[in-house]
Structure 1
Amino acid sequence: MAPDTARDAAGTPVPRLEVRNLRRVFDGRAVVDDVSLRVMPGQVTCLLGPSGCGKSTTLRMIAGVEMQDAGEIHVDGRLICDTTFRVPPERRNIGLMFQDFALFPHLSVAENVAFGLKGSKAEKRARVEQLLGEVGLNRFIESYPHELSGGEQQRVALSRALAPRPGIMLMDEPFSGLDNRLRDEIRDLTLDVLKKEGAAVLLVTHEPEEAMRMADEIALMRDGRIVQQGAPYNIYNAPIDRAAVGFFSDINVIKGKVQGALTDTPFGQFLAPGVPDGQEVEIVIRPQHLKIDFDRGGRGPDPTPQDGVPARGVVQRARFMGSESLVEFRMDFDGSILKVTVPNVFLPSPGKALWLTIRRDRCFVFPAEA
């Protein structure tokens, strides 16, 4: 189904969901603090962040089950909630999916999906069969929830949430109850069905992999605020700070001090534009962007513009992780530990001296954290 996008008087597309300066305070602490976001029809936006950062509270305010202390919520350009006006939850045309599938145990799969649908019996049945067909569950149409696996129950819950054709779908950690083997399969199926329905989707998760896999846009939350928002590629490759890099992957941190917009390190000099002289900085690099080279009688590879100057380290341990190997080095220059991931099997013996270089274009330079 093609998304039905409303337009303003100038013909500009209007967001299906727009949140402006949302705020919620508990016991004097702002658990959601000045959150603003826009979700277009057919778009999947992910609220990503650690537990307790305000993601689920934001979702509950949009759903209407909790009131904000400040801010506005708009659907298709219409105000549905501020601090004085409130459209009831059941009239917001919003579908909900949570960690708990919350299926009615005494109702069949068909009756669960049809629950809350309006129209004739034949119309309801047609919609139920259509959705169950899309998720591959038509053969279970007369079964009961207890007869289904966790993945099958999740697909029924998805069908039930989509049955009334909500313009907006809110999803709060919907895949956390599934085992790892099922998650990727169910995520992909869910994304395919959501795109067909054309709903604007706001997905809450604390798993970066899930956000990268499903979202068109990620809003990274921390301490009640959105600290960075953008396409997954941009969030991953242009993080706002060290914590943003570390949320998506393991990191290595090399410390230095700026002099003349440059930082000297054992791996050579790094640019630090805009950082005042004398300021300490942290050069952050992910384990997959370090390169390992062999020791040549106490010498490493020659320096290059791309990889900089090599530095020597001694292997502490090496582990095979399935699709890659993780090797930990104690560096000669300061005794720090750096981690490197290598595709396939690479398991050098502890105590072996090797040389590391780091991809200059994959490093992030940030002012040192206090």
Structure 2
Amino acid sequence: MQLQSKIDSPRLEIRNLRKRYGHRHVVDDVSLSVRPGNVTCLLGPSGCGKSTTLRMIAGVDMQDSGEIYVDGQLICDTVFRIPPERRQIGLMFQDFALFPHMSVADNVAFGLKNAREEKRDRVEELLAKVNLGWAIDKYPHVLSGGEQQRVALARALAPRPRIMLMDEPFSGLDNRLRDGIRDETLAVLKEEDTAVLLVTHEPEEAMRMADEIALMRDGRIVQQGAPYNIYNAPVDKQAVAFFSDVNVIHSQSNGALTDTPFGQFLTPGWEDGAPVDIVIRPQHFKLDFDRDGRGPLPTESDGVAARGVVMRSRFMGNESLVEFVMDHDGSELKVTVPNVFLPKPGTALWLTVRRDRCFVFPAEN
């Protein structure tokens, strides 16, 4: 039981961190934890406080209030503070910051204080993990961007940090390399049993890498959980829109039901007359190709079919994006269709929607 408790305890824990610059709360009451071998992503738009949170954990910035713990031990509050170099926290940034006048081996060994043979053994071990053993005596300028990123990872891991802080580390790589480098990096970090806190503004990166996502907005964490839960049970309309395009239908609740052109939606708990926004992702519409006003009725889960006219269509690779103007009120809807589907502008089609995949939120003013 004692062993299980130790395994389940967080490696990194921050409690109620706050940071102000002038009258602006850049970080406002942020709390989270990361366990060994797990990746937590701080996800949010630029300027929401992600990087400031990272700098406070690293010890570069000092919080105005709140506490930071590593393996249950306090490392920083507003009175007590362990210096950055003694926190056993590794850092990786978009800028690889390799020393151009040093070999790959010397770059990786830079933060090590071991004897020379021990340093060499650790360097060789890490370069083998990142598939760069052949580059041990090369210099950074002869390596590609992806290879330099892997050297930076090896250097950050060399002192065996208990925690790795990563601030947009892959944004400088082109799309062709990014996925492979991310996967390789994640594998090495998990093998080292390092707790990882990754900052990114890209939802796809967070979904791909994270065991848990903390969605930030205006200095606060507005939702936290596994990627599946964050995506499928968003806390508000902005959370839905951060991960994908959205369509919004404005309506009013009436007797726990809301009328829309696509049928009635269940809105239990809402007062009669309460304005609501029904939020629908483009992939949750269906095109009713058999319907011409006389075809089969949609299933109960698909609600009622509504007619729209194609404005434009574009092929996006794995899917096609079709934009409609709807007959009932002239509103515009975005619909994604698998594979190639490029109807001409002016084509009339009927749409249904998966009501069980929609979200209902209070209407915004």
* TM-score bucket (shorter structure): over 0.9
**Does residue 30 of structure 2 align to residue 19 of structure 1?**
no
Q: For residues 271-315 of structure 1, what are the alpha-carbon distances to aligned partners after superposition, in whole Å with 9 as ceiling and x for unaligned?
A: 112221111111111111100113644456413211000100001
**Amino acid of the structure 1 residue aligned with 2:215:** L
1:79 corresponds, among 46, 70, 74, to 74
Q: 1:188 to 1:146 in 2, by over 3 A?
A: same
1:126-183 per-residue CA deviation (whole Å, 9 max, x = no partner) reads 1111111111111111111111111111000000000111000000000010001110
Which residue number corresponds to residue 277 of structure 2? 282
Q: CA RMSD in A?
A: 1.5
Structure 2 distance, partners of 1:110, 1:47, is 32
Q: Give the alignment partner of residue 238 of structure 1, picking from 230, 233, 236.
A: 233
Alignment of 1:1-370 (within 5 A): 13-294=8-289, 296-299=291-294, 301-370=296-365
Kindly state the Cα deviation for residue 7 of structure 1 after the two structures are TM-superposed. Answer: 6.4
**1:236, 1:9 → 2: CA distance?**
30
TM-score (norm: length of structure 1): 0.96
Q: TM-score, normalised by structure 2?
A: 0.97
More deviation in 115-124 or 51-60? 115-124
- Structure 1, unmatched stretches of 5+, are 1-5
Shift of 1:12: 7.5
Structure 1 residue 262, shift from structure 2 partner: 0.9
Decide which moves more: 296-305 or 330-339: 296-305
Question: 1:262, 1:99 → 2: CA distance?
Answer: 49
Cross-structure match for 1:3: none
Contact 2:246 2:279 in 1 (8 A): yes
Distance 1:296 1:90, change over 3 A: closer
State the identity as a percent: 77
SS at match of 1:273: coil
Question: In 2, Cα distance between the equivalents of 1:10 and 1:204?
Answer: 28
Mapped to 2, the partners of 1:12 and 1:123 lie a distance apart of 29
Distance 2:63 2:198 in 1: 19
- 1: CA distance, partners of 2:23 / 2:362: 31
User: CA shift at 1:14, angstroms?
Assistant: 2.2
Task: Say if 1:363 and 1:15 are closer, same or farther in 2 by CA, change over 3 A.
Answer: same
Structure-2 separation of matches of 1:16 and 1:180: 32
Checking the alignment, whether the CA contact within 8 Å between 1:48 and 1:218 is kept in structure 2 is yes
**Could you list the runs of 4 or more consecutive aligned residues of structure 1 that deviate by over 3 angstroms after TM superposition?**
6-13, 295-301
| Preserved CA contact (<8 Å) 1:301 1:310 | no
Which secondary structure does the structure 2 equivalent of 1:288 belong to? helix
Are the structure 2 counterparts of residues 172 and 11 from structure 1 closer, same or farther at C-alpha, using a change threshold of 3 Å? closer
1:226-283: per-residue Cα shift (whole Å, max 9, x none)?
Answer: 0000000000000000000000001111111001111000101111122211111111
8 Å CA contact 1:318–1:347 kept in 2: the answer is: yes
1:235 alignment partner AA: I
Q: Give the number of aligned pairs.
A: 365
